[in-house]
Structure 1
Amino acid sequence: MARSLVIKATAGADGPERVNQAFTVAAAAVASGLPVSLWLTGESAWYALPGRAAELRLPLATPLDELLQVVLAGGRVTLCTQCAGRRDIGPDDVIPGIRIAGAPTFVEEITADGVQALVY
């Protein structure tokens, strides 16, 4: 059985290459048929809001909003509870399909058998 990936994105507009790399790896893993869980934490929390991923453009990279749609279609996207709260983001604010969950859920995901965790 193939490994599952749990990818934590911590950067946003403050680190466009880093956040784009996290989304690119997540989308590539989904396209490869792997189970993927993408966590939006820190400044990447803003990409849980409609239209925000489309604002980030990086030369020679697939647009972030397209990568996010791939992950949403074939994987799971989670917004960190505390990160959402610090930014006044609630469940009704996020893109449909994105859940809000906290550290216990993250720990459960990354300690499951056959999981590879990556942090960007």
Structure 2
Amino acid sequence: MARKLVIKVTAGKDEPERCNQAFTVAATAVASGVPVSLWLTGEAAWFGLPGRADDFSLPHAAPLADLLASVLALGTVTICTQCAARREIGPQDVIAGVRIAGAATFVSEVTADYAQALVY
């Protein structure tokens, strides 16, 4: 059974290098055939909305929108329920394929057999 990678990104535009690192690792993993679940929390929650990743730029880094599209195509992208609520983000606001889920779902994913969690 393949190991699943659960990546939680807690930084957004406020910490661009840490944010981009999480997206880069997630996109690289899915391109390598690794099952990936990417969790957008804190300021990263904004990237689950249309156009928000297009507005992110970091020199010498792949465009965040491209990295997000890769993960969406081959993995799972989730916005934390509480993070979404604090930002008044609802299911109708997110990019198609992005879900909103809470701590119970996160705990279930990170404690599953063959799961590896990374937090950025």
Q: Please, what TM-score do these two structures have when normalized by structure 2?
A: 0.99
1:117 aligns with 2:117: yes
SS in 2 for 1:99: strand
1:34-73 counterparts in 2 under 5 A? 34-73=34-73
Q: Which residue number corresponds to residue 101 of structure 1?
A: 101
User: Within 5 A, what are the aligned runs for 1:5-84?
Assistant: 5-84=5-84
Which residue of 1 is the match for residue 2 of structure 2? 2
| Residue identity (%) | 73
Unaligned runs of 5+ in 2: none
Give the C-alpha shift of residue 3 in structure 1. Answer: 1.1
Q: 1:106, 1:16 → 2: CA distance?
A: 24
- TM-score with structure 1 length normalisation? 0.99
Aligned residues: 120
Give unmatched runs, 5+ long, in structure 1: none
State the alpha-carbon separation in 2 of the partners of residues 97 and 18 from structure 1.
24
SS at match of 2:84: helix
Paired residue secondary structure (2:112): coil
Specify the SS of the correspondent of 1:83. Answer: helix
Deviation, structure 1 residue 2: 2.7
Q: Matches of 2:54 and 2:10 in 1, distance apart?
A: 18
Q: Return the letter of the residue paired with 2:34.
A: L
What amino acid is the match of 2:21? Q
CA–CA distance in structure 2, aligned partners of residues 23 and 74 of structure 1? 13
- Aligned amino acid, residue 106 of structure 2: F
